[in-house]
Structure 1
Amino acid sequence: MTDMTSDIAKQVLDASLMHVPFDGWSQTAFDAAVADCDVNPVVARALFPRGAVDLAVAFHKRGDAQMQSYLAADNLSDMKIREKITHAVRTRLEVCPDREIIRRGTSLFSLPQHVPTGAELIWDTCDAIWTAIGDPSTDFNWYTKRATLSAVYSSTVLYWLGDESVDNSATWEFLDRRIENVMQFEKFKAQARSGPLGKLMAAPLAALSRVKAPEKRRDFPGQWRGPTT
């Protein structure tokens, strides 16, 4: 993708954020953003084939990229693992410019036809978090960590959308409780390997040990990664 194309995609996405709080991630918002930027509708549709849905996807991925940038600049070395996860999730929520935009996105990705896309976005966010905090997993743990964090992240977003407490204090307390659930699960997995339960779980764990994390080959020819924003 050329720099010019990337710039047009960014302009359309930026323009859409003025309309989404009122019209949602809809065709109306998409058309208004394209008109605001004086972009050829054919070009806009080429950049965002599904219209507003792809705009919402681009917005979410922009938030992930911003979170990764902030985390890369932070000193996480002295934090415990649960502190790193909590900090990362808070950072991801705090980069959101407008809660109503997130609310509209949640509504969009709760529609049956868009649920798979929404689930993929949440998974990618949690993968970005684990990667940013230095998770070394290459086996089945790679999957379980992202699955449990996906549940934590999605439930925290929903709680945050309805939170009216000062400085979102209620959300951060909710997040702490959910992270504790994750830590308890990780503790259980460790006990399953080394404790008395390990003997009973030996065969299943041996099978799971052969499961490997996917290779991140995302740059091979012909793969469409969507507009860069």
Structure 2
Amino acid sequence: MPITAPDPAKLDLLQAALPNVAFDGWSPATFKAAIEATGIDPARARALCPRGAVDLAALFHTEGDRAMVEAMKGESRGSRRYSEWVAHALRVRLDVVEDKEAVRRGTSLFALPHLAGDGARLLWGTADAIWTALGDTSDDVNWYTKRATLSGVWGAVVLFWLGDLSDGHVETDAFIDRRIADVMRIEKLKAQVNANPMLRPLTGPLGRLMGAVKAPRTGADPRVPGMWRMGADR
């Protein structure tokens, strides 16, 4: 799904907040300092960010997704295998991060129980941005499984990267390759199961059931994640 452009004033608040995040985290103190630094009316700042610095932390994440999409424009898969193409996009997403400590603080913030749902949505959003940047055209249940799988991979990659002290993050590169290899093994196993004639009485009906699941329509109500269709189009 396209990432909508935020209000410029909200971006100003984010840029003013970042120097304080390493010291105060994504906290009320950081949000207050950002308001003072920008001179934005506090009432407008609260209208833009009802949850204060939490909304700025979410914006920091989605702006990283936007930067990744921009960096991927004009790139082509070339001779890369599809798994290598996905791994490349994950590396680009890491490369566009300009403040590692802000990511660390944000990871801790969205791990809190009352914000875990927001954290999951941000992970899903990154996975969706990556698949969209790669030109994914799936419109069935694969739309969901691709994003669910990549969300898990991305979450693990970020945690590893935050603790990686190797030169040029070479250990993170190797970790990405291992995680993608794990996913490919799962996909290979799924293909073997679907091709097994002994399992067809189970996989056949399940496949038809999954075929009724459709990806979200462009411009659909964001509260409705997808579309369920039984039988022919209506």
Instruction: Tell me the TM-score normalised to structure 1 length.
Output: 0.89
Distance in 1 (alpha carbons) for counterparts of 2:206 and 2:38: 56
**AA of the residue aligned to 1:18:** P
The alignment covers a number of residue pairs equal to 216
Which deviates the most, 186-195 or 83-92?
A: 186-195
Distance in 2 (alpha carbons) for counterparts of 1:189 and 1:215: 27
Once the two structures are TM-superposed, the CA of residue 74 in structure 1 deviates from its matched residue by 1.9
Which deviates the most, 102-111 or 194-203?
A: 194-203
SS at match of 1:201: helix
| Superposition misfits of 4+ residues, deviation over 6 angstroms | none
When the two chains are superposed, the root-mean-square deviation of aligned CA atoms in Å is 1.6
Per the alignment, residue 203 of structure 2 pairs with 201
Aligned residues of 1:25 and 1:105 also touching (Cα < 8 A): yes
Distance in 1 (alpha carbons) for counterparts of 2:36 and 2:214: 47
Per the alignment, residue 189 of structure 1 pairs with 190
State percent identity of aligned pairs: 47
**AA of the residue aligned to 1:210:** A
Distance in 2 (alpha carbons) for counterparts of 1:164 and 1:197: 49
1:133 is the counterpart of 2:152: no
Q: Structure 1, residues 41-61: CA drift from partner, whole Å, max 9, x if none?
A: 101001111111110111111
Aligned residues of 1:64 and 1:128 also touching (Cα < 8 A): yes
Per the alignment, residue 219 of structure 2 pairs with 217
Summarize the Cα distance change of 1:158–1:202 in structure 2 as closer, same or farther, 3 Å threshold. same
Distance in 2 (alpha carbons) for counterparts of 1:169 and 1:195: 39
Per the alignment, residue 15 of structure 2 pairs with 14
Aligned residues of 1:110 and 1:118 also touching (Cα < 8 A): yes
SS at match of 2:7: helix
Summarize the Cα distance change of 1:6–1:218 in structure 2 as closer, same or farther, 3 Å threshold. farther
Distance in 1 (alpha carbons) for counterparts of 2:16 and 2:23: 13
**AA of the residue aligned to 1:109:** F
Which deviates the most, 7-16 or 149-158?
A: 7-16
Once the two structures are TM-superposed, the CA of residue 190 in structure 1 deviates from its matched residue by 2.4
**AA of the residue aligned to 2:148:** A
Q: Tell me, which stretches of 5 or more residues in structure 1 are unaligned?
A: 221-229
Once the two structures are TM-superposed, the CA of residue 217 in structure 1 deviates from its matched residue by 1.5
Once the two structures are TM-superposed, the CA of residue 218 in structure 1 deviates from its matched residue by 5.6
Instruction: Tell me the TM-score normalised to structure 2 length.
Output: 0.88
